[in-house]
Structure 1
Amino acid sequence: MEAGLSWTDERVALLRRLWEDGQSASKIAAQLGGVTRNAVIGKVHRLGLGGRVKGAEVDAASAVKPAEVEKPVAAAPIPELVVAETHRPAPEFPTAAVPARPAATEAAAIPVSQRVTIMDLRESMCRWPLGDPTTPEFRFCGARSITGLPYCTHHAEIAYQPAAERKRDRRAAGFR
């Protein structure tokens, strides 16, 4: 809408009449001048004007003749959905079961000299967090990581467990 034009009472009355007559928003905008189709739609919405008059006449030029109506086309078959995996599969580890270590022994198993802060962490280092992130003593494992994975062998065994083993661990902890 141009800066000089506004919705005066006369323009709103004309908008109401044209809308109730069944005119399209584009035609109303053209007749009002200086407003867009979207401006007309917005004003109709703000005025709360409902649907059109049921028996609104259609211009003879825009009417579709029965011979021009296209026959419905059979819908194309819907292709089968392909689900992309968004995670890496668990790496293969030796089949020997590794007993779970308590958290206290786990921290002691990693030498303090190998632990690193976020500033010292490199791509080839294990990113397993150790401790409380809100304390100054918080560090990452820092051991050599498995190529393509964020963790060292020890922490990868903890992070990537087969589904059956996870279910068994949950049942042992009292979850269903």
Structure 2
Amino acid sequence: MDWTAEAIERLKALWAEGHSTAEIGRRMGISKNAVVGKAHRLNLPARPSPIRRDAAPRPVPVPRAPRPMPAARITPPPILRASPMVAPAPAPVAATPVVRAFPVASSRPRLGSRTCCWPIGEPGTSGFRFCGGDPMAGKPYCTEHAALAYVKPRDRREDAA
């Protein structure tokens, strides 16, 4: 954009009226960033932040001394009772997912071993294990699990315009 003398005078007038940079840009048909840049180069007075702050400043917290640990607990801790509110009904469980047949390997492959590291089952349960199949070259997963783990990025040109 070419900043003509008329455009600069209009910018200064709108700035003096207290309009936001976005509003000045809309009225002049230019971007907000163009308004900010030109106002900076013209050394126009700074604007107050549009972010609302509390009227009173927050006090600085004073560090406390650590509390001494009790010597020994004589009474057992109180038993916490559940509130009388009724718990919500559990969500319905979806149908059993389709399970693919992958080769069964040891429950935990050794670090550095050349086996598929795809987790199968719920961690912490007795049925949890890793796939253990032969991994693809340079990947930690077998062919089937690599197809699930690595998704090709979409062509960004589709999203343009």
Please tell me the TM-score bracket, short chain as reference. Answer: 0.3 to 0.5
When you count helix as a share of all residues, which structure comes out higher? 1
Q: Which has the higher contact order (CA 8 A, sep 6+)?
A: 1
Task: Decide which structure has the larger Cα Rg and report it.
Answer: 1
Q: TM-score, normalised by structure 1?
A: 0.30
